[in-house]
Chains A and B, each alone.
Chain A
Amino acid sequence: MLETAPTPPASGEASHSERAAAARRRTRRPRSLGVAALAWTVGLVFFFPVLWMFLTGFKHESEASTTPPTWLFVPTFDQFRAILGRDFLPYFLNSLTASVLSTVLVVVLAVPAAYALSLAPVRRWKDALFFFISTRMMPPVAIILPLYIIANNIGLLDNVTMLSVVYTVMNLPIAVWMIRSFLVELPAEVLEASRVDGASIGTEIRRIILPMIAPGVAATALICFIFAWNEFFFAVSLTSTKAATVPVFLTGFITAEGLFLAQLSAASMMAALPVILAGWVAQKWLVRGLSLGAVK
């Protein structure tokens, strides 16, 4: 996205860059073979555990834990059926509610905050920025105890709203940092123009800034969604039955470990599905968004 178009070389440097192109042509063939092999290896190494899980999800329990591992088997949908029979849906909906709600809140809060830390900086904005990231150094264990007691006192234990709020706070600092890094990239002239036109700050953000940093905001939102969807610690500590999310559901199989391997992998697959879908859909945005913010 930020890739600069190759500029026509100045006359003095022409031979220099021609020589470079020639050098590249010469070395390309043998090297690209090695690179391709390496790339395949990396791809496969990454893919293997996912593939193993995928395969196991379609096995019968008796085939799931054999020595040697079973490679050939007749696929079955029994595990998926069993999971839906174990009331998977409420967990799934809780996860979806908490993740979507918290992501929306994060974006709504983070965009103005990032604006106030970059384009129209408040005094001591560095301290504010540092304060935000320093909150991420708190181990979740640190705030879980008071949070648990507070939630207990105001009756929000085992409540999806409570979980969404916690996820919002959890993701806000990173979202502010990311969105801020996109804002810093914006060309100053655009903003000057809008300010001279007398646009209000709300209009400026909505009409001018948001469209320009849309890929970055999308990438940020996706990352926040993934973090919230996968969050396990707060979920397992603050919920029990009504508001429990998918990662909590997964632990149900682990306590009965060794017995329900196939079912667990089927459940894990279903747990990962929305994230994979969201990641797939937003893949382009993600790379683009990250590259927007990565480098000045």
Chain B
Amino acid sequence: MTDTALRSGTRRGRRTAPARGGPRPRGSRTRLTPYLLLAPTLVVIAGLLLYPLYRMLVMSTQDVGLREIRGEPAESVGAANFREILTSEVFWQALRNTVAFAAVAVSATLVLGTLVGLLIHRLGRVMSTTVVISTMLAWSMPHMSVATVWRWLFDEHGGVANWLLNQAPDWLTGALLGRADWSGYSWFLDPLPLYFVLTLAVVWQSFPFIAVSVLAGLKSIPGELFEAARVDGAGPWRSFWQVTFPLLKPVFAVLLVLSIIWDFKVFTQLHVLAGGIGNPAAYNLSLYAYAEAFRSPPRMGLGSAIAIVLAVILLVITVFYVRQIVRQEDVR
């Protein structure tokens, strides 16, 4: 890939070099150069993404095991992989997990991120810097480490969560959560508590990014607009929906798409919290695809088919929004 980049680089250099000599007809500069500027990126992405993608499409219709990975020709099985997925209970469970998790996590991330963004916007310089730094600290931690930290916080024996729940009055935890004695309670066996912790971990780590983006947007709104809304008797709620939201709509649209993409594909944190691929009830689509592709013996064809299903779902959901974002920009 480095080669391609270099080659296109020199091509570009040769093209623009004469321009320094003196004025040139405008046409030659505007017509072709943009394409040459775009070419390296397109080549890199196409070469390293489209080809594997094409291979994946092919593989999803094949039976790819250990022997095929070593280079033997794979046997085509038609749509058998997809049939197997669609009739498998594990797939539907994984799909439910994926969609439910994404719905909860995306909304929680956006709502909390926006609230914290609004909060930081109202703080003084020192305090806002402190909160921005401590939240960005959380955002920039390796997902591995964060997932691990959360796993200990909810560890069955030494975890802080169980300890705290045991400190709380028994009648309260009993009434709210249906359990009074939390010593040794494992959060990572059943899907529901597992995904609860996963949601905490993912939301905790991803809303700083939303908050800072929203904050950046807020800073660009002239303060007079808020003042005017307040004088007109609008409370914080109305002022948000009448002033902030309409103005920041493009920001929210981008953040929504990014959050959907990230939360649908969440892998690392789940892999850590679920403790690997041993528990099919805990799969989301990413982990399910990974599990099928890399279990022993590996079934890469099946894994590819699952990955395709996930990609298609994401594509369908986001096409709409991304189109809208680009269209909005056109109007401006």
User: Which residues of A are in contact with B by a Cβ distance under 8 Å?
Assistant: 1-4, 6, 16-17, 19-21, 23-24, 32, 35-36, 38-39, 42-43, 45-47, 49-50, 52-53, 56, 64-69, 105, 108-110, 112-113, 115-117, 120-122, 126, 128-130, 132-150, 152-153, 165-166, 168-169, 172-173, 176, 184, 195, 198, 200-203, 226, 229-230, 232-233, 237, 246-247, 250-251, 254, 257-258, 261, 264-265, 268-269, 271-272, 275-276, 278-280, 283, 286-287, 290-292, 294-296
Contacts and interface: CB of A to CB of B under 8 A. Distances in A.
Interface of B: 1-2, 5, 12-13, 16-17, 19-20, 22-24, 26, 29-30, 33-35, 37-38, 40-42, 44-45, 48-49, 51-53, 55-56, 59, 64, 69, 71, 116, 119-120, 122-123, 127, 130-138, 140-146, 148-150, 152-153, 155, 157-158, 160, 162-163, 183, 204, 208, 212-213, 215-217, 219-224, 227-228, 230-231, 247-248, 250-251, 257, 261, 264-265, 267-268, 272, 275, 285-286, 289-290, 293-294, 300, 303-304, 306-308, 310-311, 314-315, 318-319, 322-323, 326, 329-330, 332
A261 B159 CA distance: 11
Given A43-B130, A112-B38, A142 B213 contact: no
Given A226-B140, A290-B212, A138 B311 contact: yes
B49 A169 contact: yes
B41 to A, nearest CB: 4
Contacts of B286: 139-141
A244 to B, nearest CB: 12
A246 B143 CA distance: 11
A269 B219 CA distance: 33
- What are the 4 tightest A-B residue pairs by CB atom distance, in nearest-first order? A291-B216, A65-B158, A142-B307, A146-B55
B157 A49 contact: no
A20 to B, nearest CB: 4
Contact of B42 (A39, A56, A128, A152): A128
Nearest to A27: B230
B71 to A, nearest CB: 8
Contacts of A143: 49, 52-53, 56
B227 A24 contact: yes
Contacts of B123: 35-36, 39
Q: Say whether chain A's binding surface is mostly helix, strand, loop, or mixed.
A: helix
A4 B218 CA distance: 12
Contacts of B228: 16, 20
A42 to B, nearest CB: 6
B303 A198 contact: no
A177 B98 CA distance: 26
A240 to B, nearest CB: 13
A17 B306 CA distance: 59
Nearest to B265: A139
Contact of A250 (B45, B142, B323, B332): B142
Nearest to B155: A65
B113 to A, nearest CB: 11
A9 B232 CA distance: 17
Between A24, A138, A250, A265, the greatest number of chain B beta carbons within 10 A of the residue's beta carbon is seen for A138
Nearest to A174: B258
A290 B311 contact: no
A2 B247 CA distance: 14
A254 B56 contact: no
A268 B148 contact: yes
Contact of A1 (B49, B219, B272): B219
A113 B41 contact: yes
Given A142-B307, A291-B219, A21 B227 contact: yes
Contacts of B221: 295
A43 to B, nearest CB: 5
A42 B119 contact: yes
Between B44, B64, B251, B272, the greatest number of chain A beta carbons within 10 A of the residue's beta carbon is seen for B44
Contacts of B133: 280, 283
A35 B123 CA distance: 7
